[in-house]
Structure 1
Amino acid sequence: MTPPTAGTPATAAPTAGAAPAASGDNPTGNGSVDGAERARTGWLLLVGMLLVALNLRAAMTSLGALLDEVRVGLALSGTMAGVVTTLPAVAFAGLGATTPWLVRRLSAPRLLVLAMIALTIGQVLRVLTDSAVVFLVTSALALAGIAVANILLPMLVKQYFPHRTGLVTGVYMMTLTAGATAAAAVAVPVAHASGSWRAGLGVWAALAAVAVLPWLPAALRTGGAARRTGRHGGRARARTSPGRTRLGWAMALYFGAQSLSAYAIMGWLAVLFRDAGFRPQDAGLLLAGVTALGVPIALLMPVMAGRLGDLRLLVLALTAASSVAYLGLAFAPRGGAVLWVVLLALGQGAFPLILATIGLRARTADGTAALSAFTQSVGYLIATLGPLVVGILHESTGGWTAPLGFLLVALAVQTGAGIVIARPRYIEDERGPAVAGG
Structure 2
Amino acid sequence: MENLRATARPAVWLMFAIILVGLNLRPSMAAVGPLLSAIRGDIPLSFSVASLLTMLPVMAMGLAMFFGIGISQRLGEQRTVLLSLLIIGLATLSRLFIESAAELIASAVLAGIGIALIQALMPALIKSRFADNVALCMGLYVTSIMGGAALAASLAPLVMVQTGSWRSGLAFWAILALLAIVFWWFQRRQQPSTEMAAARKDWFLGNSRAWLLAIFFGLGTASYTCVLAWLAPYYVEKGWSEQNAGLLLGFLTAMEVISGLVVPAIANRSRDRRVILMALLTLIIAGFCGLILSPQQLSLLWPCLLGLGIGGLFPMSLIVSLDHLDNPQRAGGLTAFVQGIGYLIAGLSPLMAGVIRDRLGSFEWAWWSLTAVMGVMLLMVWRFDPRHYARHFPSSR
What is the TM-score with the length of structure 1 in the denominator?
0.83
Q: Give unmatched runs, 5+ long, in structure 2.
A: none
Which of these residues, 378, 383, 387, is aligned with residue 350 of structure 2? 387
Structure 2 residue 79 is matched with structure 1 residue 86 = no
Structure 1 segment 200-211 matched on structure 2, within 5 A: 200-211=169-180
Aligned to 2:301: 339
Paired residue secondary structure (1:46) = helix
Deviation digits for residues 105-135 of structure 1 (CA, Å, limit 9, x no counterpart): 1011101101000011101112311121111
Deviation digits for residues 53-100 of structure 1 (CA, Å, limit 9, x no counterpart): 111112211112212222222211211101112023202101111101
Structure 1 segment 340-379 matched on structure 2, within 5 A: 340-348=302-310, 349-379=312-342
Write the distance in 2 (CA, Å) between the matches of 1:170 and 1:111: 22
Q: Which has the larger radius of gyration?
A: 1
| Cα deviation, residue 146, structure 1 | 1.2
Aligned to 1:263: 225
Aligned to 2:164: 195
Aligned to 1:302: 264
| Cα deviation, residue 170, structure 1 | 2.3
Aligned to 1:282: 244
User: Does the 8 Å CA contact 2:55/2:349 hold for their aligned counterparts?
Assistant: yes
| Cα deviation, residue 41, structure 1 | 4.2
| Cα deviation, residue 40, structure 1 | 5.5
Write the distance in 2 (CA, Å) between the matches of 1:141 and 1:303: 34
Write the distance in 2 (CA, Å) between the matches of 1:54 and 1:153: 13
Deviation digits for residues 219-246 of structure 1 (CA, Å, limit 9, x no counterpart): 68999x44xx22x1x1x437x9344333
Write the distance in 2 (CA, Å) between the matches of 1:426 and 1:73: 55
Counterpart code for 1:250: L
| Cα deviation, residue 217, structure 1 | 4.6
| Cα deviation, residue 189, structure 1 | 1.0
Aligned to 2:91: 122
Aligned to 2:25: 56
Write the distance in 2 (CA, Å) between the matches of 1:314 and 1:164: 18
Structure 2 residue 110 is matched with structure 1 residue 141 = yes
Write the distance in 2 (CA, Å) between the matches of 1:156 and 1:408: 34
Write the distance in 2 (CA, Å) between the matches of 1:365 and 1:154: 8
Deviation digits for residues 203-225 of structure 1 (CA, Å, limit 9, x no counterpart): 100111111112225668999x4
Structure 1 residues 370 and 429, CA gap change in structure 2 (3 angstroms): farther
Write the distance in 2 (CA, Å) between the matches of 1:168 and 1:312: 20
Write the distance in 1 (CA, Å) between the matches of 2:113 and 2:34: 21
Paired residue secondary structure (1:105) = helix
Structure 1, 381-390 or 49-58: larger mean CA deviation: 49-58
User: Does the 8 Å CA contact 1:109/1:222 hold for their aligned counterparts?
Assistant: no
| Cα deviation, residue 4, structure 1 | 11
Write the distance in 1 (CA, Å) between the matches of 2:3 and 2:52: 42
Paired residue secondary structure (1:328) = helix
Counterpart code for 1:305: A
Paired residue secondary structure (1:290) = helix
Which of these residues, 28, 35, 42, is aligned with residue 73 of structure 1? 42
Write the distance in 2 (CA, Å) between the matches of 1:3 and 1:187: 45
| Cα deviation, residue 333, structure 1 | 1.0
Structure 1 residues 243 and 3, CA gap change in structure 2 (3 angstroms): farther
User: Does the 8 Å CA contact 1:328/1:340 hold for their aligned counterparts?
Assistant: yes
Structure 2 residue 383 is matched with structure 1 residue 420 = yes
Structure 1 residues 167 and 431, CA gap change in structure 2 (3 angstroms): closer
What is the TM-score with the length of structure 2 in the denominator?
0.91
User: Does the 8 Å CA contact 1:64/1:266 hold for their aligned counterparts?
Assistant: yes
Write the distance in 2 (CA, Å) between the matches of 1:218 and 1:397: 52
Structure 1 segment 35-46 matched on structure 2, within 5 A: 36=6, 41-46=10-15
Aligned to 1:153: 122
Aligned to 1:273: 235
Structure 1 residues 171 and 119, CA gap change in structure 2 (3 angstroms): same
Structure 1 segment 108-257 matched on structure 2, within 5 A: 108-217=77-186, 225-226=193-194, 229-230=195-196, 232=197, 234=198, 236-237=199-200, 241-257=203-219
User: Does the 8 Å CA contact 2:45/2:101 hold for their aligned counterparts?
Assistant: yes
| Cα deviation, residue 405, structure 1 | 2.0
User: Does the 8 Å CA contact 2:124/2:329 hold for their aligned counterparts?
Assistant: no
Write the distance in 2 (CA, Å) between the matches of 1:4 and 1:248: 41
Identity %: 30
Paired residue secondary structure (2:265) = helix
Which of these residues, 361, 379, 395, is aligned with residue 398 of structure 1? 361
Write the distance in 1 (CA, Å) between the matches of 2:299 and 2:90: 36
| Cα deviation, residue 161, structure 1 | 3.3
| Cα deviation, residue 430, structure 1 | 1.7
User: Does the 8 Å CA contact 1:67/1:267 hold for their aligned counterparts?
Assistant: no
Structure 1, 70-79 or 385-394: larger mean CA deviation: 70-79
